[in-house]
Structure 1
Amino acid sequence: MTVSRRQFIAAGCAAGGALGHSLAAGAAPAVPALTLACSNYVRFMPIATGDVRPNDLALTWVRGDRTEMLRRATDDAAIDGGESSMAQHVMRLDRGDRSLVAVPVFPLRNFTARDLYTRKGTALNAGTLGGRRIGIYNWGASGAVWYRHLVRYFGHDVTKIAWVVGGTDGPATVTVPDPPPSHVSKAPTGASLSDLLVAGTIDAFFAPLPPRKYHPVDGPIVRVFPDFRAVEQKYFADTRCYPPQHVVLIRRASWDRDRTVGTRLVDAFNESETMFEAAQRQFPYNSPWLIADVEDAARLMGADYHAHGLEKNRHAVDVFCRSAFEDGLLKRRLTADDFFADFLKA
Structure 2
Amino acid sequence: MSTGTATSASVPLTIALANFDRHLPFFLGWLPPAEGFHLQALDVGMSSLGRDGIDRHGRMLRDAEFDIAEVSLASYIMAKARGAAFTAVPVFPRRLFSANHIYVKAGNGIETPADLRGRRVAIRGWQVSLSVLAKGDLKTRHGVDWQDIHWIVEGAEQVAFADPRVRLEAMPAGARGAQLLLDGAVDAYIDPRPPRAVLEGQGGIRPLFIDQRRECLDYFAQRRCFPAMHVLAIRDDVAQRFAHLPQYLLEAWADAQHKTRHAYEDYAYTAMPLGRLAWQQSSADFGDGLFAAGLAANRDNLAWFIDYLVDQALLAAPIAVEQLFHPSVLHS
TM-score (norm 2): 0.83
Aligned: 1:95 with 2:82: yes
Counterparts of 2:271 and 2:12 in 1: how far apart (Å)? 35
C-alpha offsets along residues 226-263 of structure 1, whole Å, 9 cap, x if unaligned? Answer: 43122111111111231111111111111112322111
**CA, structure 1 residues 257+138, in 2 after alignment: closer, same or farther (shift >3 Å)?**
same
**CA, structure 1 residues 180+290, in 2 after alignment: closer, same or farther (shift >3 Å)?**
farther
Aligned: 1:322 with 2:332: no
Identify which of 96, 117, 125 aligns with 1:130. 117
**Letter of the structure 1 residue corresponding to residue 151 of structure 2:** W
C-alpha offsets along residues 126-175 of structure 1, whole Å, 9 cap, x if unaligned? Answer: 34333332221111111211111221222222211222212xxxxx5568
C-alpha offsets along residues 289-327 of structure 1, whole Å, 9 cap, x if unaligned? Answer: 222321222223221221112111111122211111111
Counterparts of 1:215 and 1:245 in 2: how far apart (Å)? 20
Q: What are the residue-to-residue correspondences of 1:69-84 with 2, within 5 Å?
A: 69-74=56-61, 79-84=66-71
Counterparts of 2:253 and 2:183 in 1: how far apart (Å)? 46
Does structure 2 conserve the Cα–Cα contact (< 8 Å) formed by 1:102 and 1:343? no
**Letter of the structure 2 residue corresponding to residue 135 of structure 1:** A
Identify which of 18, 21, 30 aligns with 1:39. 18
SS at 1:273's partner residue?
helix
**CA, structure 1 residues 148+57, in 2 after alignment: closer, same or farther (shift >3 Å)?**
farther
Identify which of 35, 51, 55 aligns with 1:56. 35
Does structure 1 conserve the Cα–Cα contact (< 8 Å) formed by 2:267 and 2:273? no
**Letter of the structure 2 residue corresponding to residue 154 of structure 1:** H
Identify which of 118, 138, 146 aligns with 2:104. 118
Corresponding residue for residue 143 of structure 2? 155
Counterparts of 2:114 and 2:63 in 1: how far apart (Å)? 45
CA RMSD of aligned residues (A): 2.7
| Structure 2 residue ranges without an equivalent (≥5) | 1-8, 47-53
Q: CA offset at residue 274 of structure 1?
A: 1.1
SS at 2:203's partner residue?
coil
**CA, structure 1 residues 163+261, in 2 after alignment: closer, same or farther (shift >3 Å)?**
same
Q: CA offset at residue 282 of structure 1?
A: 0.9
Does structure 1 conserve the Cα–Cα contact (< 8 Å) formed by 2:26 and 2:39? no
Aligned: 1:252 with 2:252: no
Counterparts of 1:133 and 1:217 in 2: how far apart (Å)? 19
Counterparts of 1:94 and 1:250 in 2: how far apart (Å)? 15
**Letter of the structure 2 residue corresponding to residue 48 of structure 1:** F
Q: CA offset at residue 31 of structure 1?
A: 6.2
Counterparts of 2:32 and 2:302 in 1: how far apart (Å)? 26
Counterparts of 2:293 and 2:134 in 1: how far apart (Å)? 22
Q: CA offset at residue 63 of structure 1?
A: 2.1
Corresponding residue for residue 313 of structure 1? 298
Q: CA offset at residue 61 of structure 1?
A: 2.7
Does structure 2 conserve the Cα–Cα contact (< 8 Å) formed by 1:74 and 1:82? no
Identify which of 202, 213, 234 aligns with 1:229. 213
If you compute each CA radius of gyration, which structure gives the higher value, 1 or 2? 1
Q: CA offset at residue 272 of structure 1?
A: 0.6
Corresponding residue for residue 187 of structure 1? 171
Does structure 1 conserve the Cα–Cα contact (< 8 Å) formed by 2:165 and 2:313? no
**CA, structure 1 residues 227+345, in 2 after alignment: closer, same or farther (shift >3 Å)?**
closer
Identify which of 246, 265, 289 aligns with 1:281. 265
Does structure 2 conserve the Cα–Cα contact (< 8 Å) formed by 1:101 and 1:343? no
Q: CA offset at residue 205 of structure 1?
A: 1.2
* Alignment length (residue pairs): 311
Q: CA offset at residue 191 of structure 1?
A: 4.5
**CA, structure 1 residues 222+345, in 2 after alignment: closer, same or farther (shift >3 Å)?**
closer
**CA, structure 1 residues 313+86, in 2 after alignment: closer, same or farther (shift >3 Å)?**
same
Q: CA offset at residue 189 of structure 1?
A: 5.4
Does structure 2 conserve the Cα–Cα contact (< 8 Å) formed by 1:87 and 1:140? yes
**Letter of the structure 2 residue corresponding to residue 187 of structure 1:** M
Does structure 2 conserve the Cα–Cα contact (< 8 Å) formed by 1:94 and 1:332? no
**Letter of the structure 2 residue corresponding to residue 106 of structure 1:** F
Counterparts of 2:262 and 2:73 in 1: how far apart (Å)? 28
Q: What are the residue-to-residue correspondences of 1:190-229 with 2, within 5 Å?
A: 191-211=175-195, 213-214=197-198, 216-229=200-213
Aligned: 1:264 with 2:248: yes
Counterparts of 2:203 and 2:313 in 1: how far apart (Å)? 35
Corresponding residue for residue 243 of structure 1? 227
Identify which of 145, 161, 178 aligns with 2:132. 145
